Amino acid sequence: MDDITLWPTHRQAAAIAKGELASRELLDAQLARIEAVNPALNAVVSVDVERARMAAGAADDAVARGEPIGPLHGVPVTLKDAYEVAGWTSTGGSTQRSGHVPDRDAPAVAALRQAGIVLLGRTNVPEWSGDLQTYNDVFGVTNNPWDTSRTPGGSSGGAGVAVATGMSSFELGTDIGGSIRVPAAFNGVCGHKPTWGVVSTAGYLDHAAGSQMARAVNVFGPLARSVDDLEIVLDVVAGPHPRHTRAWRLELPPARATTADGIRFATWFDEPSCPTDPAVLTLLEAAAGALDAAGATLMDDRPDLDWSEAAWTAVTTIMGEISVSAEEDDPTGFADGSHRDWLLAQEVRLRHVDAWAQLFERVDVLLAPVCVSAAFPHDQSQPLGDRTVRIAGRDRNYLDLILWTTMIGGAELPSTVVPVGRTPDGLPVGIQVIGGHGDDRTTLAVARVLEGLLGGYEPPPSLAA
């Protein structure tokens, strides 16, 4: 792939470190890409060219002087407008914060800066990251680069588009109900939802006052064009909040298997109460078949739980968490419900966590859908709770689209998404590779095997034009 904007992050970083590629050169190529494609996509919502060029120049000068550099030194990136970035407008997609400029970085952002990134802009989100479509009253609607009449997913929709089109080297998304995984799948890139608690989520913008609390099941994690890049970025941002570093340490266990012949995997691709679009299901089954044919062991095993109960209990958790974003008279009903109801739901959710833990004593990973459909047409005509979406000729509840991701998030598990092909309509489809608590390196390793078998990231055809 000759286009330097589409190189994986690890190749860009290595070339900059060796002096074979200037950070300035890569930045200028990405700025040109933004100028060329962003007007039709509206993914990047703010850019500071002067500040980015100064940072890229400083990065090149450091390489020339032979100074020690970080693993992401000189790599230009955009960052999702869902967390605090010092000195940059950080809105959370809400008019309530349209002029907000923080004086501090979220800890995960500070870690990326320490690793050497060059920040060039921010990417679009739904208001308070509360939808799986990406639009708001501050910056408008973001479009899918594979079909601009469709959503790129949410809430990291702008991030997914920026990575897919080479406007950014990688991105840092947030995920409380699928906000990394759905945009990764809909835009044909890779994404990793870490085990809950592995990355600090302080500085998350989910209401007007901002947040320093760790929301139940919410995580920060990377989107990138290769699985290797996901792991590099995860290693940079993983760790406890700075206030806890005196006593806490993070040591993720090594991958259980790194080649196909060592993998024990199970599948759960379809559920009668929430059927998967046949066009998506075909690609998921083909991916499992490829892994099986490569020597992995396919096991007939699933967690001992009721799928619907687990999925909707996780939805209850999320609705309670995002209620802080809602107005008291919000028509979605997100602000309804008592703290007692929320706590009772957590007791049920944690029983499901135990059931998942028992499954991963027997298998290494479970393969599952990211979403029951590929990217769907834009629709902001109704409040979120009243929407429907047409899948395989049938009108479905809008929330059906996030039940698979929500259930896995509710179990606090790591999940890596990797592209597995395209539907007959040409839309990308991703698969969830789910592992046990803390087994992030295992899900990444299995996703890497699938990436090798199936080809991984491909640029949207629109880039060729």
Residues recognised as catalytic: 80, 155, 179
How many CB atoms are located within 10 Å of the residue 388 CB? 13
- 340 burial (CB, 10 Å; 0-12 / 13-18 / 19+) is exposed
**CA 299 to chain CA mean position, Å:** 28
Phi, psi of 211 (to 5 degrees): -145, 135
Cis peptide before 155 (omega within 30 of 0): yes
Distance in angstroms (rounded) separating the CA atoms of residues 310 and 329: 28
Distance (Å) of CA 24 to CA 110, 115, 120, 342, 352: 22, 17, 12, 50, 49
Distance in angstroms (rounded) separating the CA atoms of residues 459 and 6: 8
395, two tokens: 């009108």
Which residues does residue 298 pair with via DSSP β-bridges, in sequence order? Answer: 265
Would you say 221 and 173 are in contact if contact means Cβ atoms under 8 Å apart? yes
Would you say 78 and 171 are in contact if contact means Cβ atoms under 8 Å apart? yes
